[in-house]
Amino acid sequence: KHLPLNIRVPIEEDNPSIIREEALCIRCGRCKEVCEKQIAVHGTYRFLDTANRAICIHCGQCANVCPVNSIQERNHCSQVEEAIADPEKIVIVSTSPSVRIALGEAFGMAPGSFVEGKMVALLRALGFDYVLDTNFAADLTIMEEASELIRRITDHGVLPQFTSCCPAWVKYVETYYPELTNHLSTAKSPIGMQGPTIKTYFAKKESLDPKRIINVALTPCTAKKFEIERE
C-alpha cells in the first residue's frame, strides 16, 4: 500500500488534511526530510508496529516543501462555493491573523504586506455574508487557558500546563507522550471556540438562525481540517 519509509512520507487516503497525487511524485525525499528532522514524526515508527498505517499529526509541512505539488492540502473550496450559492445559507468566514500578512505574497506583493482591507473586500465580493476575525476567539483562548492555570495552581492541579491551541501539537502529544495529555489545557483552539461562539453569541446578537449558518475558517493550518472532524 505504501512505498518504503526510507523513500518518502506515507499518506493515508482518508487523511483529512493532506492528499498525494501519485502521478506527480518524483521520490525526491523532501517530505521525509522535513517530517523527520523538523517535525520528528517520520523515522519514529515501523509499519510492522502500526498495522501498515501512516502516523501523521496533520501539520502539512510535507506539502510546503513538495517541489512538484504532489502533496497538497485537501481542498474544500467546492463545499464553500456550494454553501455560498445556497440562498438558505448564511456563510461566515473567520480569518486567522496570519492570513492578512501572508496573502499578499501569493499575488506578487512584498512578503509581510498587510492586506486586511483587500482581503475583506475580496471575501465579500466572493459572496461571504460576514467576515470575522479569529483574533476574537484567540482572546477567549488566552482567558480560558489563564483561568484554567489559576485553578490548577490554586487547587494543586497538574502542572505545568501546556497550551491546547494547536491541534497538530495536541495530536503529537497524544501519539508520542500520552502520559502527558493531562498537562494539556482543556480549552479548545481559537477556531474551535470561534465556530460555536458564532452560532450562539453572534447569531443572537445579529438575530440569525444558527441552523442556517456555515462557518468557514480561513487559516494557514492544515491541522484544522483534522481538528474539525474530531468528535
> What is the rounded (10 degree) CA torsion for 22, 24, 25, 30?
-130
- How far is residue 75's CA from residue 136's CA, in Å, rounded to a whole number? 26
- One pLDDT digit (tens) per residue for the chain, 231 residues: 799 999 999 999 999 999 999 999 999 999 999 999 999 999 999 999 999 999 999 999 999 999 999 999 999 999 999 999 999 999 999 999 999 999 999 999 999 999 999 999 999 999 999 999 999 999 999 999 999 999 999 999 999 999 999 999 999 999 999 999 999 999 999 999 999 999 999 999 999 999 999 999 999 899 999 999 988
CA distance linking residue 88 with residue 47, whole number of Å: 47
**In the block, which residue shows the cell 501572508?**
102
